[in-house]
A and B are shown apart, each in its own frame.
Chain A
């Protein structure tokens, strides 16, 4: 176990930034977001989780897939050079670390590997930060996530009053900490601080089985009545991963790109002929909850919610997934 003093942390980030792009929560417009470390920003590691999840580092909002050009009767496609920069992601909370495992399931398993995602994911080292305080909207323990220790990361950090404890988890993490020689000291008798205890806990036992019988239930009409369909929940969700593919053309050349989409929008499911299998907000909102709590567990054996609380914190009309889970369990069939 190693320790770094709070005022030495920027130097450690600087050391990592020499060989990689370092992303760390910093202040921007009064909120906290993962930004590239340039030595100037104001770190917000001790102020709770970021407003936006770090998923866009692996799955950018928009990403060019290939370019094409036409000359006379000839047409050609130019591949986009593969992403090969190294990244270090610092200050990832346990909930967001779980979301990486969920995104991996989507993009890397079941017979298809998404190369765009894989290159970014494999080039990234993750340094997690344990939570010692929970926000009122946190409910990660509901999904068996330990706020005090993240899964699938390279280095685990814990906050102390005057610094951070660091523990190596993987070989790649070992290499990272070797770059900090001189800044890190032995932790000695420092104790790992107690993990946060989120007050919001939901009982999810049997919710998947219940939902399997609720597809046609009038409950969805009731819950969708106040939804604005703005899609804020899907953009802020660390596990939402739907995208659309569009093209941009000028003259004889152009490019195809993919961009985030959302199941909360009608055009997401609208067919070329105009038919829409999810014609109203009811079907779309239902899909969002069923995907997180029924379809994903059926396909991958885990819930696609990590209890980060961003959607319930930021919904303009307070559609609350924890309340939906509770109400679903109370519905009589």
Chain B
């Protein structure tokens, strides 16, 4: 049996999620024993054409050309996976969605003639997606677990609950309750191993909304802590403002 073929696509993104694949270094050779990274422009000089078994798409969709490439990727991949929060929800690029396109473009580019950007969306706005690997960047452990489960033909364990769970399992002191720090952990999907709170930094919500996230209630508590309503909006729109859950949080106060 030939090895499953994996393709890695890049849309509007910082390439940090692709880098995490390379950062799997200690077990990268094991991984390459199980799958072929057939198309991975960041890591290969020569890339092989499709079809592929698994397609990992990094980045938000922010222009027409990317929509074309995404639809082609969907056609040539058996499983299409959103790799990282940009591909899942629009991620950091979606911050621009609340300002007029021309204003944002003007701030970045000198010559706007060649710029045709659209609202930043996650990839599932345009094509069906089989799995979401959240995070900025994606969690290496979760990525690996996803590939392993896919090879075994079992459902991967992608955590639907909040970061609080992992914080509790690590026996961290709660930053939100004890230190009154603004932490999005209670509404953010776990899977990162509570990376930031375990190092004393409150959760920024980079993994997007957890299952049944109650962002409205959290936003009200943030307001009760004395946070300005504009800051609450910024918190909820930083990574996943396009999701219905976090937009409710942004509009709650």
A positions within 8 Å CB-CB of B? 29-31, 33, 51-52, 61-62, 225-232, 235-236, 246, 249, 259-260, 262, 265-267, 280-281, 314-317
Contacts and interface: CB of A to CB of B under 8 A. Distances in A.
16 contacts: A52-B171, A61-B169, A226-B220, A227-B214, A228-B186, A228-B217, A229-B210, A229-B211, A230-B185, A231-B164, A232-B174, A235-B168, A267-B159, A267-B160, A316-B174, A316-B221
Interface in B180-224: 185-187, 210-214, 217-218, 220-221
Contacts of B217: 225-228, 317
A230 B169 contact: no
Main SS of chain A's interface residues? Answer: loop
Given A228-B214, A266-B211, A314 B177 contact: yes
B164 A230 contact: yes
Please name the 4 residue pairs, one residue from A and one from B, whose CB atoms are nearest each other, closest first: A230-B164, A235-B168, A230-B186, A228-B186
Contacts of B169: 61-62, 235, 259-260
A231 B162 contact: yes
Nearest to A262: B165
B173 interface: yes
A270 to B, nearest CB: 8
B58 to A, nearest CB: 26
Contacts, number: 86
Given A62-B169, A228-B187, 6 more contacts: A227-B214, A231-B164, A232-B164, A249-B152, A262-B161, A266-B212
Most buried by B among A30, A228, A232, A246: A228
A179 B110 CA distance: 81
A260 B167 CA distance: 13
B178 interface: yes
Nearest to A265: B161
Given A52-B171, A227-B217, A316-B186, A281 B177 contact: no
B213 A229 contact: yes
Nearest to A264: B161
Interface residues of B, number: 30
B78 interface: no
Contacts of B159: 267
A30 B177 contact: no
Contacts of B214: 226-229, 281
Contacts of B148: 249
B157 interface: yes
B176 interface: yes
A233 to B, nearest CB: 10
Contacts of B211: 229, 265-267
B187 A231 contact: no
B171 A230 contact: no
A58 to B, nearest CB: 16
Contact of B212 (A51, A246, A280): A280
Contacts of A249: 148, 152
Contacts of B186: 228-230, 316
Contacts of B171: 33, 52
Contact of A265 (B152, B160, B185): B160
A265 B165 contact: yes
Interface string B127-162: 000000000000000000000100010000101111
Given A29-B173, A281-B214, A314-B177, A231 B161 contact: yes
A29 B165 CA distance: 19
